[in-house]
């Protein structure tokens, strides 16, 4: 498989690294010589300097032989034109574009992206995806991450085991079903910054973070079992009135109008615009979120949750820390730099939202084997949760899970068969057509795909 990635920023370079690791032929195009050189030297990819929407540049990048073009430059317009050129001049089979400006995403303009107009197969909007991720976290306040899978029948929950009430602590994985943990699969343990898929003899320790898989109907029970009984926020302060903040405020106001919502925005012009857009749904305060008086005016001291989503990581981090110091119960913080990831829990930040991780998850779903219908990245350095359809003739359906020969770093957390959820054991059998939820570390990805794939399957859609 050959892929052209337009844009060597954080998202583009990370996507290129993932694909190259899987043996895919990747060329990265960027206008910046430094970015292109860094991609060329850092990963097993080819870095090229040039304007990503110019036909001559794409031709030099090998687009004539490409199976897919992924356009994630900083410019929506460049991304869209690159897809147009790839389709119209070079007949590239799959085209994915990141589009940020909400003006391009209004439902009334959907016809713009038809094959006879701007032929883009998949449009990724980080702002919309980030807002979706935050709304999910608001619904399960004790979790730092939450993802619905299998049409909402299954939930993946990321939870801090930092309370004395966490019943997982000290229990071996093989003992869960007999110690009150039936219906729970621990897919990942994160200990001192190191993530791993646990084995039967492994134990959860105090201070670990865990990712667990369970039926959606049991989420409240599972959260209580893990020592978390936080109430859904009724008073929320949003810091940052950009596209993410406005999208988020609009969604909260529409779906939970009883929530008391306040927003802090630094720009007077933007604050006035947001106030007109939201009307009575929120109180908009113009000011610096790092000013204690502004935060107190927003009543962070009595808010259950602060959500910091400005365009500046440091502002988001310090506004969250200041708000919690003043008495706010919980902080959800947007952070772009992955280098901050490991230090944020020590600052008291409860949940981190990474736009690049969300974007990468969405893109990889469309690159993986055709049986993969959903994908979520678990920490950029660790692995993924995959939802896939079990294929006729694959190793997964030839016997029990114990007999499937799954590699270290792979775990089947749930099976959905005819609408029914099965939490598997080692003696469970997977049937062709079942939906399986698998946790896969990157180091085990190739072997995992070989187990999931049918005898004549290939990668891609």
* Per-run averaged pLDDT (10 residues), the chain, 461 residues: 94 88 91 92 90 97 96 96 96 94 81 82 89 92 93 95 87 76 88 92 93 95 92 96 93 92 97 95 97 97 97 96 96 90 86 88 81 84 91 91 93 95 93 96 89 64 44
Which residues, other chains included, contact 103 with Cβ-Cβ below 8 Å and sequence gap of 6+? Answer: none
What's the CATH number of domain 2-124, 3.40.50.720, 3.30.1310.10, 3.40.50.300, 3.30.70.270? 3.40.50.720
* Topology annotation, domain 235-353: Rossmann fold (3.40.50)
Joined together, the tokens standing for residue 211 give 């990712």
Predicted local distance difference test score (pLDDT) of residue 367: 82
C-alpha neighbours within 13 Å on the C-beta side of residue 405: 8
Which residues, other chains included, contact 78 with Cβ-Cβ below 8 Å and sequence gap of 6+? Answer: 6, 51, 52, 53, 71
CATH 3.30.70.1450 fits 130-225, yes or no: yes
Predicted local distance difference test score (pLDDT) of residue 461: 44
Could you tell me where in the chain the CATH 3.40.50.720 domains are found?
2-124, 235-353
Distance CA 99, CA 123 (A): 6
Q: What is the pTM of this model?
A: 0.86
Q: Could you tell me whether strands 305-308 and 235-239 are parallel, antiparallel, or unpaired per DSSP bridges?
A: parallel
Could you tell me where in the chain the CATH 3.30.70.1450 domains are found?
130-225, 358-452
C-alpha neighbours within 13 Å on the C-beta side of residue 345: 14
Partners of 156 in the β-ladder? 147, 213
What's the CATH number of domain 358-452, 3.30.70.1450, 3.40.640.10, 3.20.20.140, 3.60.70.12? 3.30.70.1450
User: How many CB atoms sit inside 10 A of residue 400's CB?
Assistant: 13
């Amino acid at each position: 498989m050959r892929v052209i990635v337009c844009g060597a920023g954080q998202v583009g370079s990370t996507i290129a690294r993932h694909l190259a690791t899987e043996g895919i032929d990747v060329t990265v195009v960027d206008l910046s010589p430094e970015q292109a050189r860094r991609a060329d030297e850092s990963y097993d990819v080819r870095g090229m300097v040039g304007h990503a929407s110019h036909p001559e540049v794409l031709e030099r990048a090998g687009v004539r032989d490409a199976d897919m073009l992924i356009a994630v430059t900083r410019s929506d317009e460049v991304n869209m034109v690159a897809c147009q050129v790839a389709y119209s001049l070079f007949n590239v089979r799959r085209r994915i574009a990141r589009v940020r400006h909400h003006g391009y995403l209004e439902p009334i303009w959907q016809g713009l992206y038809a094959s006879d107009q701007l032929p883009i197969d998949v449009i990724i909007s980080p702002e919309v995806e980030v807002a979706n991720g935050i709304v999910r976290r608001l619904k399960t306040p004790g979790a730092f991450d939450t993802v619905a899978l299998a049409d909402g029948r299954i939930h993946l929950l990321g939870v801090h085991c930092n309370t004395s009430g966490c019943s997982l602590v000290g229990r071996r994985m093989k003992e869960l079903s007999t110690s009150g943990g039936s219906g729970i699969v621990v897919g990942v343990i994160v200990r001192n910054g190191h993530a791993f898929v646990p084995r039967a003899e492994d134990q959860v320790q105090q201070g670990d973070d865990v990712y667990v898989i369970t039926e959606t109907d049991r989420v409240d029970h599972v959260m209580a079992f893990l020592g978390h009984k936080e109430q859904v926020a009724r008073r929320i302060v949003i810091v940052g009135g950009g596209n993410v903040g406005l999208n988020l405020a609009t969604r909260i106001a529409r779906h939970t109008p009883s929530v008391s919502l306040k927003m802090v925005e630094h720009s007077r012009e933007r604050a006035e615009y947001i106030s007109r857009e939201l009307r009575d749904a929120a109180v908009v305060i113009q000011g610096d979120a790092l000013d204690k008086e502004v935060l107190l005016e927003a009543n962070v001291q009595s808010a259950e949750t602060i959500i910091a989503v400005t365009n500046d990581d440091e502002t988001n981090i310090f506004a969250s820390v200041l708000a919690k110091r003043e008495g706010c119960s919980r902080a959800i913080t947007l952070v772009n730099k992955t280098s901050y990831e490991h230090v944020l829990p020590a600052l008291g930040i409860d949940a981190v939202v990474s736009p690049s991780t969300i974007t990468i998850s969405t893109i990889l779903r469309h690159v993986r084997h055709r049986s993969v219908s959903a994908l979520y990245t678990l920490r950029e350095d660790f692995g993924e949760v995959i939802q896939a359809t079990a294929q006729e003739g694959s190793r997964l359906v030839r016997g029990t899970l114990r007999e499937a020969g799954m590699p270290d770093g792979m775990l089947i957390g749930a099976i959905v068969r005819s609408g029914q959820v099965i939490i598997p054991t080692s003696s469970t059998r997977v049937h062709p057509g079942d939906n399986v939820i698998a946790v896969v570390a990157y180091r085990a990805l190739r072997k995992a795909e070989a187990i999931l794939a049918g005898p004549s399957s290939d990668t891609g859609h």
